Amino acid sequence: MTLGKKIKEAQSKIDADRKYPVIEAFELLSTTSKDSTKRGFDESVDVVFRLGIDPKKADQMLRGSVALPNGTGKTIRIAVFAQGEAATAAKEAGADFVGADELVAEVEKGMMDFDLVISAPDMMAKVGRLGRALGPRGLMPNPKTGTVTPDVAKAVADFKSGKVEYRTDRDGNVHIRIGKASFDANKLAENFSSVLDEIQRSKPASSKGKYIKNISASTTMGPGIKIDIGS
């Protein structure tokens, strides 16, 4: 069976005009995802929130982080810019790369073997020099996401256990990964609920009209499924 036929088969199970109750949506995701064993990987599950905000206005741009109760199913590599006791604590918490001037130098030379960057406040003046390397990849630490903090060890532990960052894109959408296709539908629903609560809590005061216009979920290779949060 060709990939095209598989996609068509998956799409045939979904009513593109229907919004599905949360649990039903995630149960349906598991039936439309590709065979992870045959394909050699466990597909990710992503959710997209289409928001009624003006992305051109700085006060309506969302950026933050949210803890997923069941994690994402992905092991992330974390780089921490810290020194002294903070650096020691970060290493003990499981950070993959920890350092001060020497780590800044490594990144300046092109070392980018990490998925997330955390920095102690007193290191940000030096980390700021890495803007050209970290910025385009969305890796620059930010207090809003909890990646600039005096307690770097706690931040490492939180992100290792399933905390994820989010931000609105240029079109006013938020894309966020909430797990793997192999997750039980109830676990995906719990992760989704945590994200939904965070998005609703973060509604900009200046946003007018309907705030959450549409929500859809999909696996890496699967079709999108609209979600009805009213259910």
Q: Could you tell me the pTM of the whole model?
A: 0.84
Shared-domain flag, residues 215 and 153: no
Claim to verify: residue 87 and residue 152 sit in the same structural domain: yes
Strands 97-99 and 78-81, sheet pairing: parallel
Tell me: do 64 and 89 sit in the same domain.
no
Are residues 84 and 107 both part of a single domain?
A: yes
- The pLDDT tens digits for 68-110 are 999 999 899 999 999 999 999 999 999 999 999 999 999 999 9
| Strand spans (E) along the chain | 20-21, 44-51, 63-67, 78-81, 97-99, 116-119, 163-167, 173-180, 212-219, 225-228
- From 118, 144, 160, the end of a domain falls on 160
Contact 87, 163 (CB under 8 A): no
Q: What residues does 46 pair with on adjacent strands?
A: 177, 218
Residue 148, domain extent? 78-160
- Please tell me the distance from the alpha carbon of residue 34 to that of residue 55, in angstroms, as a whole number: 34
Q: Is 124 a domain residue?
A: yes
Enumerate residue ranges in the chain where pLDDT < 70.
1-13, 32-40, 231
